[in-house]
Structure 1
């Protein structure tokens, strides 16, 4: 069997100086705050996956603006072998509407002041502040 990386889409939504984060219910990163997102399905673009996952996990509707960056996520077992390999694609998304409600595979979803996230004041997945900083510098908002 050939092993290949999975592709994940991350929805980066900013609104009124706040960023939307979701607390993961399952591994990887169970219990940590991160951008809403998940697997890209066969035949689906990353942009479409980002907004679908955002809606499924948080009830928030958004329009994809553009790609922000790619992030490699590799987790190794005790034997040093790769056990998990994702290519995560950050997608800038423009808020449209919806009622914020944690659903699907997240236990909570909240809007956080961007300064709180950038200062690392939350238990977050790796590189969340870095991706947020990139989003803020992108000029999309």
Structure 2
């Protein structure tokens, strides 16, 4: 078990009225839908990590625009022992090119209607809907 939280980045990419999501292959969120993302490497910003992880997991190229918010993901086992502790930096990314193809930790990848996602029509990782709502607010404020 790490002695401190692990830092990861999420690529929140919205194109028209759709958001790019992946279905996770591996724990802790295996089978759930969420934003592409992963660990921030030493010497890399979370903005850079979001764009890199997006390309690695989906083949989609995007430019990281700005941080949206941070999300703590802390999970305990049934015995109360700490299983996972991640600090996730959600990054708003501007789509540039590519069609989503699942790779790396992603079992599936694709564009999904924002309304469909917010209505709860997919089994989502914790905080996905809240982060998506925040991303839409940021985009509306910037428009």
TM-score range, shorter chain: over 0.9
Structure 2 unaligned segments of length 5 or more: list them.
none
CA distance in 1, matches of 2:24, 2:60: 16
CA distance in 1, matches of 2:106, 2:83: 22
Task: Provide, for residues 40-95 of structure 1, a one-character-per-residue CA deviation record: whole Å limited to 9, x for no partner.
Answer: 01111000000000000000000000000000000102221212100001000000
Residue matched to 1:53: 53
Shift in CA distance, 2/137, structure 1 to aligned 2, threshold 3 Å: closer
Could you list the structure 1 runs, at least 4 aligned residues long, displaced by more than 2 angstroms after superposition: none
Residue matched to 1:127: 127
TM-score (norm 2): 0.95
Alpha-carbon deviation of 1:2?
Answer: 6.5
Residue matched to 2:5: 5
Shift in CA distance, 136/79, structure 1 to aligned 2, threshold 3 Å: same
TM-score (norm 1): 0.96
131-140 or 109-118, which moves further after superposition?
131-140
CA RMSD in angstroms comes to 1.3
CA distance in 2, matches of 1:48, 1:70: 16
Alpha-carbon deviation of 1:127?
Answer: 1.1
